């Protein structure tokens, strides 16, 4: 039996939990929008054509903010194609995903959906084929009250009040050679700073996100951030980070340790940004928007990608997630929370169908994938302040990351309710782990209010249309508190959440 332990104390906090950590992503890609969130012919569709079953699951998932409309899609997108009478909207080629965009859903429709889902919107601007003027036009359309051409056009099309979008991405993955309008860091830095200055002239209170590296394996990683921020540091509030993980050549041990890479990614960006800030003698402290992250079987997608036909809403990267994938997603959430002092926004990509926690069938049901559950529970239970965890646990060797702790965890403390919640993963593939957590530093007695574990004897088990609840979290009956110490048994390859409340 493995054993792991750590001590919690309310004096050792990292930062408040940011609700924006629990963001998602809706891109005009595959079936995320069409037959995902929007399907007018569906039995559950409301008066605006939105699937109410998907809306209900979005609320249950606990999503706080949604990045829209892309993604790679945005670098060739003409936002004005998606406003006005639907019958008059043009059909365009989407070069990013080699499909046709009907523009039935545009910014007005999406903002109505966001209102129904009760989520904030993070809007991504096209700095690939467009630039400063388009950014100003979008901001005027969505945020200016009235009295200008574009704000009055919005009112004509049915939205009298401005949408009040605060967060804007200055492009998407502009470091990537695959990106339409790909730029060098100097080219992008100049465009980003010019766009940011123009937007701030319109509204000084906007929160602006500069493009960071598309992943930590990019040959320009860190150098890109440094060169971009040398130009744009004072005009932006965030630098973005994107990361996707999959098992490589059957290496499950390294896959289960994916959060080690995420930790390194975040720490490297922080070091780079702070170094630039120091050289510029700036008092400003940039935040990180980890606005694309998930498990994605990218090699599988690259092997099957269609590049000849131009379909509408094709089935693209509809990965079916298993138990191991869900445990990895849970561990990535632990990493994001652990960095709450600098990662204050994050978006799991994507929301529906496309590498998503929610799956649908046209005209049929919607269901929760395995990765839905750790996200929903973490979003619901992580409140108050993130506490520092110094884990004492054995390690195991991985091909990619070297020695890695078998058990990883983060904890939160809600000072108003007095609750303490522990989120923990056991990465070992064969042995359970005994967990011991000292909570004597809180100076009160606790009891276990709820405890959930996602694990299964079959690590390849998935949720499907026919068996939508094959994999769900179950109460962990081994969790108990005695003499100021929480004890629990963690099954192999498992993710667990335990909430303690004052006794």
Tokens 């004509």 locate to 156
Residues 393 and 335 in one domain: no
Residues 395 and 362 in one domain: no
Assess whether pLDDT exceeds 80 at residue 82: yes
Q: According to the model, what pLDDT value does residue 304 have? A: 72
Q: What is the CATH number of the domain that holds 451?
A: 2.60.40.1180
Residues 119 and 71 in one domain: yes
Residues 352 and 453 in one domain: no
pLDDT in tens, 353-370: 999 999 999 999 999 999
Domain final residue pick, 330, 359, 381:
381
Under DSSP, the state recorded for 381 is H
Q: According to the model, what pLDDT value does residue 309 have? A: 86
Q: According to the model, what pLDDT value does residue 302 have? A: 76
Domain final residue pick, 348, 381, 414:
381
Section 464-485 average pLDDT = 98
Q: Which residues pair with 405 in a beta bridge?
A: 395
Nearest to 346 by CA among 125, 63, 139: 63
Section 347-351 average pLDDT = 97
- Catalytic residue (choose from 27, 120, 292, 318): 292
109 is catalytic: no
Q: What distance, in Å, lies between the first and last C-alpha atoms of the chain? A: 30
Under DSSP, the state recorded for 125 is P
Pull the structure tokens for residue 241. Answer: 């980070």
For the chain, give the longest Cα–Cα distance: 70
- Catalytic residue (choose from 27, 173, 225, 235): 173
Residues 418 and 460 in one domain: yes
Assess whether pLDDT exceeds 80 at residue 280: yes
Per the structure, the complete domain to which residue 214 belongs is given by 18-381
Q: Which residues pair with 458 in a beta bridge?
A: none
Pull the structure tokens for residue 110. Answer: 């999406």
Tokens 């997608």 locate to 301
Contact assessment for residue 387 and residue 8, using Cβ atoms and an 8 Å cutoff: yes
Q: According to the model, what pLDDT value does residue 209 have? A: 98
Assess whether pLDDT exceeds 90 at residue 103: yes
Residues 252 and 370 in one domain: yes
Residues 370 and 445 in one domain: no
Under DSSP, the state recorded for 91 is P
**3-class SS at 101?**
strand
pLDDT in tens, 18-33: 999 999 999 999 999 9
Residues 358 and 428 in one domain: no
Q: How far apart are CA 412 and CA 51, in angstroms?
A: 34
List Cβ neighbours of 378 (8 Å cut-off, separation of 6 or more): 22, 62, 330, 333, 337, 423, 497
Domain final residue pick, 381, 405, 432:
381
Per-residue confidence at 174, pLDDT binned at 50, 70, 90?
very high
Section 227-244 average pLDDT = 98
Q: How remote is the C-alpha of 411 from its chain's centroid? A: 19
Q: How far apart are CA 263 and CA 336, in angstroms?
A: 8
Q: According to the model, what pLDDT value does residue 1 have? A: 79
Residues 433 and 377 in one domain: no
pLDDT in tens, 406-425: 999 999 999 999 999 999 99
Residues 345 and 223 in one domain: yes
Per-residue confidence at 86, pLDDT binned at 50, 70, 90?
very high
Share the mean pLDDT of the chain: 97
Pull the structure tokens for residue 56. Answer: 């209900």
Q: What is the CATH number of the domain that holds 255?
A: 3.20.20.80
Residues 352 and 442 in one domain: no
Helices (H) and strands (E) in the chain, counts: 11, 25
Residues 294 and 248 in one domain: yes
- Give the other-Cβ count within 10 Å of 415's Cβ: 11
Q: According to the model, what pLDDT value does residue 299 have? A: 84
Number of domains in the chain: 2
DSSP-derived secondary structure for 316-339: ------BHHHHHHHHHHHHHHHHT
pLDDT in tens, 325-335: 999 999 999 99
**3-class SS at 85?**
coil
Per-residue confidence at 300, pLDDT binned at 50, 70, 90?
confident
Contact assessment for residue 119 and residue 110, using Cβ atoms and an 8 Å cutoff: no
173 is catalytic: yes
Verdict on whether the full-model pTM lies above 0.85? yes
């Amino acid at each position: 039996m493995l054993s792991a332990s750590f001590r919690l104390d309310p004096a050792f906090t990292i930062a408040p939990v940011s609700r924006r950590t629990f963001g998602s992503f809706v891109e005009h890609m595959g079936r995320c929008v069409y037959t995902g969130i929007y399907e007018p012919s569906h039995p559950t569709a409301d008066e605006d054509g939105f699937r109410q079953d998907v809306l209900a699951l979005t609320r249950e998932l606990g999503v706080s903010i949604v990045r829209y409309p892309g993604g790679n899609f945005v670098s060739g997108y003409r936002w004005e194609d998606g406003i006005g009478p639907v019958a008059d909207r043009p059909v365009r080629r989407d070069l990013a995903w080699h499909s046709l965009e009907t523009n039935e859903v545009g910014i007005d429709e999406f903002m109505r959906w966001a209102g129904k889902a009760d989520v904030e919107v993070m809007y991504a601007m096209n700095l690939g084929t467009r630039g400063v003027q388009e950014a100003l036009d979008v901001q005027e359309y969505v945020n200016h009250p009235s009295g200008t051409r574009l704000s009055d056009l919005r009112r004509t099309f049915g939205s009298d009040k401005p949408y009040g979008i605060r967060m804007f991405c200055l492009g998407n993955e502009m470091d990537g050679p695959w990106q339409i309008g790909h730029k060098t860091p100097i080219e992008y830095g100049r465009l980003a700073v010019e766009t940011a200055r123009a937007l701030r002239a319109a509204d000084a209170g906007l929160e602006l996100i500069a493009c960071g590296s598309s992943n930590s394996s990019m040959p320009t990683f860190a150098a890109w951030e440094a060169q971009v921020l040398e130009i744009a540091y004072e005009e932006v509030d965030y630098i973005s980070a994107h990361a996707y993980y999959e098992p490589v050549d059957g290496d499950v041990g390294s896959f289960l340790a994916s959060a080690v890479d995420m930790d390194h990614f975040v720490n490297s960006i922080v070091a780079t940004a702070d170094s630039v800030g120091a050289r510029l003698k700036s008092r400003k402290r940039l935040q990180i928007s980890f606005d694309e992250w998930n498990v994605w079987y990218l090699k599988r997608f690259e092997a099957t990608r269609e590049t000849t036909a131009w379909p509408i809403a094709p089935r693209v990267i509809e990965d079916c997630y298993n138990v191991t994938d869900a445990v990895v997603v849970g561990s990535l959430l632990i990493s994001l929370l652990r960095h709450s002092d600098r990662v204050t926004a994050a978006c799991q990509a994507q929301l529906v169908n496309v590498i998503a926690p929610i799956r649908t069938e046209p005209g049929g049901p919607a269901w929760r994938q395995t990765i839905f559950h750790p996200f929903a529970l973490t979003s619901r239970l992580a409140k108050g302040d993130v506490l520092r965890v110094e884990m004492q646990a054995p390690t195991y060797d991985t091909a990619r990351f070297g020695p890695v702790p078998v058990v990883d965890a983060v904890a939160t403390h809600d000072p108003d309710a007095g609750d303490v919640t522990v989120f923990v993963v056991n990465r070992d593939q064969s042995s359970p782990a005994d967990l011991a957590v000292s909570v004597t530093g809180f100076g009160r007695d606790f009891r276990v209010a709820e405890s959930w574990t996602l694990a299964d004897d079959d690590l390849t088990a998935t949720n499907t249309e026919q068996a939508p609840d094959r994999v769900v979290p179950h109460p962990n009956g081994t969790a108990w508190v005695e003499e100021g110490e929480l004890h629990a048994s963690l099954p192999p390859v498992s993710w667990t959440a335990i909430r303690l409340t004052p006794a």
